[in-house]
Amino acid sequence: MALALGKTVFSGILLAVFILSVAKYLLLPLVSPSSSPTPAWLSLPALLALIIPSVVSGSRRLRNLPPGPLSLPVFGNWLQVGNDLNHRLLASLAGKYGGVFLLRLGARNLVVVSEPKLATEVLHTQGVEFGSRPRNMVFDIFTGGGQDMVFTVYGDHWRKMRRVMTMPFFTNKVVQQYRGMWEEEMDLAVADLGGAGGGEWARPEGVVVRRRLQLMLYNVMYRMMFDTKFESVRDPLFLQATQFNSERSRLAQSFEYNYGDFIPVLRLFLRGYLRRCRDLQTRRLAFFNAHYIQKRREALAVGEKNRQKKLSCAMDHILEAEMNGEISPENVLYIVENINVAAIETTLWSMEWAIAELVNHPKVQSKLRRELEGVLRGAALTEAELPRLPYLQAVVRETLRLHTPIPLLVPHMNLEEAKLGGYDIPKESKVVVNAWWLANNPAWWKDPSEFRPERFLEEERETEAAVAGGKVDFRYLPFGVGRRSCPGIILALPLLALVVGKLVAAFRLLPPPGEGKVDVTEKGGQFSLHLAKHSVVVFQPVNPPKLSSS
Ligand code: HEM
């Protein structure tokens, strides 16, 4: 008891010293540029010297917590591990501390899971216990305090949102309803890249392929959601939508706000950042509402009046659920917000990775083209042909293995204290599964750093991975698994296979003239793993493009 009290007092003193130091650094220059020298004890080096690892968190010893580095009071392990807690850093820490370890980040606990058996526990066996999502003040702004589906805690609200979203988005019927439209949008992109669009997209020096694919994917998703599309990359609504979404990703994914999340009293210094988030989100939601949701409300009202009510897109089903009192108008807005971030950007990053790897692996590219030519025999690639193209599917799987787009999955959280691998997990811990390391650990994969789709047809042939919908392989979880797994897998896999297949059937994908390869340096945010530099690719036609509609 005395020990605990002593530690609390000591932590309080450290915190006060820290706040004074930060205040000094941030505020003194503003109020008095020529202020008299401050006492030595208020300088940052002195502060750091004061905070020596002499007081180790006692609770790690008192309870059976997972292993981890020694932690300091107030800061925990934050000063040791830094802000950029990416999949590679966490994999190297797993080498030291094992399949489950604990980092204390100020007031937060971060539990990192890096073993297939323990991933099974978190995502499947104890899926309910670990099925919530941690909150922080930035995500509270972007989700209206959990009124969405992706970031809400596990419970009735989540169940309701998942049920309401499933029928219009996540069933095989939806795939069958929209596959013709997907093919149409992809054929337009192929035609543009082949020069039919007046040359804007077909340049001998290559194009930033992301720009055209982004338009294609926005059109696919907005046609599914709202039965509307963008005219071109210069369409003012397209420019606004993409700018709003990319600014939202930047603000939510930045490591800049960690300090206020880890050490609550420092939130004081985050006021400007949070104001920017709030301002953006208000304008962004107003944009979705005015240009898209409201239009569908009006179209439904007209249909109702004429007794010709027809639900023609996902939003119509969502609005019907709202009219039946199942969800609120705010929930409708946050469904649109979630689809804009969860569906579009993730799938786009995966497309960029697949194309970059195919440019850098011409033999894989030729083999894929041979498979396509052999199966299609001059016909256009359609969704119905995908099951007959195992190498194409292996290329998609290998891309998601090597460049897991959400390498740590979306963080999970246990509302109550739980057990994992024999350890006590404090309640409300942020629990991340290092899906990238599960899929790239040499202990479980042959030459994991190689891009080799053949592995899924050779030594991994028996792997009934989660993506196949069969027995789950917990080494391979690009979409997670269990209750909080990605429901969008049913759309994402055929979309990826179709776009990659159509591009390779129509073009030789080459690096820009004079360059041997495209740069595949990666860049990670709090969630995503994407290319640091968008690839410039030359699309050299192999045959005149075949359009599904022809
Ligand atoms: C290649 C593309 C995609 C990848 C790699 C991906 C991956 C993921 C991952 C890893 C999660 C979190 C799983 C977990 O926490 O255990 C997730 C959640 C989610 N994804 Fe995807 N996703 C993709 C595309 C999509 C698409 C196209 C949609 C919608 C049309 C979508 C909708 C969602 C939703 C709504 C959730 C939240 C599920 C929940 O919390 O219950 N995703 N996704």
For 19-58, how does the pLDDT look when each residue is reduced to its tens digit (9 = 90+)? 444 444 433 333 333 333 333 434 444 444 444 433 444 4
User: Does the predicted model carry a pTM greater than 0.85?
Assistant: yes
132 pocket-lining for ligand 1 (C-beta < 6 Å): no
Q: What is the structure's pLDDT at 524?
A: 82
Q: Which two tokens stand for residue 273?
A: 């950042």
Q: What is the structure's pLDDT at 550?
A: 44
CATH number at residue 393: 1.10.630.10
Q: From the CA of 511, how far away is ligand 1's center (Å)?
A: 31
Q: Give the closest residue (by CA) to ligand 1 atom 32.
A: 488
In a domain, 424, yes or no: yes
Helix axis angle, 329-339 to 209-226, nearest 10°: 150
Q: Give the closest residue (by CA) to ligand 1 atom 41.
A: 484
Sign of CA dihedral 155, 158, 164, 170: negative
For 169-184, how does the pLDDT look when each residue is reduced to its tens digit (9 = 90+)? 999 999 999 999 999 9
Query: Within 10 Å of residue 234's Cβ, how many Cβ atoms?
Result: 9
Could you give the count of Cα atoms lying within 13 Å of 30 in the half-sphere of its Cβ? 5
Atom of ligand 1 nearest to the CA of 495: 27
In a domain, 238, yes or no: yes
Q: Which residues pair with 109 in a beta bridge?
A: 104
Q: Which two tokens stand for residue 270?
A: 């985050």
In a domain, 354, yes or no: yes
Answer for the pair 107, 263: CB distance below 8 angstroms, yes or no. Answer: yes
339 pocket-lining for ligand 1 (C-beta < 6 Å): yes
Query: Within 10 Å of residue 137's Cβ, how many Cβ atoms?
Result: 15
Q: What is the domain range of residue 296?
A: 156-541
In a domain, 414, yes or no: yes
The count of domains in the chain is 1
Q: From the CA of 107, how far away is ligand 1's center (Å)?
A: 28
Q: What is the structure's pLDDT at 35?
A: 35
Q: What is the structure's pLDDT at 204?
A: 83
The beta-strand segments (E) located in 342-499 are 412-413, 418-420, 423-425, 430-433
In a domain, 277, yes or no: yes
Sign of CA dihedral 241, 244, 250, 252: negative
Q: Give the closest residue (by CA) to ligand 1 atom 19.
A: 486
Q: From the CA of 131, how far away is ligand 1's center (Å)?
A: 14
Question: Which residues in the chain land under pLDDT 70?
Answer: 1-62, 197-198, 307, 462-472, 543-550
In a domain, 457, yes or no: yes
In a domain, 467, yes or no: yes
Q: What is the spatial distance between Cα 277 and Cα 279, in angstroms, rounded to a whole number?
A: 6
Of 535, 434, 498, nearest in space to 119 by CA = 434
Q: Pocket of ligand 1, candidates 317, 477, 486, 529: which has the most ligand atoms within 8 Å of its Cβ, to mutate?
A: 486
Answer for the pair 158, 151: CB distance below 8 angstroms, yes or no. Answer: no
Answer for the pair 282, 144: CB distance below 8 angstroms, yes or no. Answer: no
Q: What is the structure's pLDDT at 472?
A: 64
SS3 of the chain: helix, strand, coil, percent, to 5:
55, 10, 35
Q: From the CA of 358, how far away is ligand 1's center (Å)?
A: 24
Sign of CA dihedral 102, 103, 108, 110: negative
Q: What is the structure's pLDDT at 37?
A: 36
